Amino acid sequence: MSVKSNVKLAIQKTIRVVGRCFYRKHVWLVADREWEAGDNGEAFFRFLQSKPVYSVFAISKHSPDYEMMKQVGKVVDFGSLKYTLLLCVADVYISSHEIHMAGHKETPHMFVSHGISYRDLHKYFNRFTHENVYTVTASKAERDRIGAPPYTINPEHVFLTGYPRYDRLPESKSEKIITLALTWRPSLWGISKEDIAKSEYFKLYTSIFECKKLLDSITERGYTLKVKLHPQMEKYKDIFSLPEGISLWDEKITYREMYEKSSLMVTDYSSAIYDFAYLKKPVVYYQPDYEDLVEAYNGEYKYDYYSKGMGDVTKTVEEFSQCISSYIDKDCVMKDIYRNRVEQFFEYNDKKNCERVYNVICKILNK
């Protein structure tokens, strides 16, 4: 550990010891992203309002979700002096994003994640793992993977509880909407709008937008295709030229609302589809660049989607078009093979995930 890290840790320990002497409240600090709520953190924070716990939600006061969360419970401006104090003196810090996990090793950290860890993500996960980090999972496969090498977290710190936000997933009230949600590519960070427009990633979108057979199939049956851009892609949305029958989801729409309204969801590799599959709604993967992506990122994207995925895998736009048409013809009903996979994958579907996470944290703190 560097001198700078040792100094930082010493300061954190001092603040915690002194701060907890004067700040007597037993705070549970909760967060999602700095700029928005809507994930496992928010779901768990809402649950805590009925529990004998003094909980505070951390979010930027400039976020459009700030006022909303104030209506739920206590909030603190992310990054403020008070936030820094609470981070050091809290009984536990609960977050769905890894950016909050670094340092402050004296404070127990419960990582409630923001996506199913179905691929090997140890390089990502190990960056914020320390002896006081705990995490929850939604499936036995997830728990077993994260609790074994090359992951460095203590296996006894990995709990099978289900994800808090699943307790708030809506009952199915689908509209004739097909949602396209592609994941982000690490290689695209910081590049210009012009380079984005030339990228292979952008070509994934255009290959769909320019497939007349697909669009005719969708519109003739009264469906629409709506695109949910990754948050990092929102800044480039004006480069899209959308044909009739395709539109962008408003960036303010919550994933819960999107899942409720959509009849079918399309992705390349996003783990967001697991929430959708949890509702027993059909998923289609569009992966024309799979081999190239696995090679480019040293196997990070490697996964057997055919035998373990939650929906049909397509490699060409023709194959993709036919698959979508087939689902529309059958009113977008999830196939039995994938319904069985969903039921086998998720350990719980009982709206008690928050309760299990709460009980786990209580046991940790009572030690």
With tokens 């695209």, the residue in question is 188
Q: Which domains does the chain have, with CATH numbers?
A: 3-162+350-366 (3.40.50.11820), 177-345 (3.40.50.12580)
Question: CA triplet 228, 258, 315: central angle to 5 degrees?
Answer: 50
Q: Which residue shows structure tokens 């979108």?
A: 205
Below-50 pLDDT ranges, the chain: none
Neighbours of 130 (CB within 10 A): 14
Element (H, E) at 227: strand 224-227
pLDDT at 211: 94
**Which residues are CB-neighbours of 12 under 8 A, at least 6 positions away?**
88, 103, 104, 105, 106
pLDDT given for residue 142 in this prediction: 94
- The string of pLDDT tens digits covering residues 13-56 is 666 666 665 666 789 999 998 988 999 999 999 999 999 999 99
Distance in angstroms (rounded) separating the CA atoms of residues 112 and 189: 25
**361 closest CA partner among 142, 105, 95:** 95
Each residue's pLDDT tens digit, 69-95: 999 999 999 989 898 888 888 899 999
**CB distance 112 to 134 below 8 Å:** no
Which single residue is written with the structure tokens 């003094």?
54
| Chain position carrying tokens 């350990």 | 347
pTM for the model: 0.87
Q: In the prediction, which pLDDT does 68 show?
A: 96
pLDDT at residue 252, as a whole number = 80
Cα–Cα distances (Å) from 17 to 53, 161, 335, in that order, read: 21, 31, 56
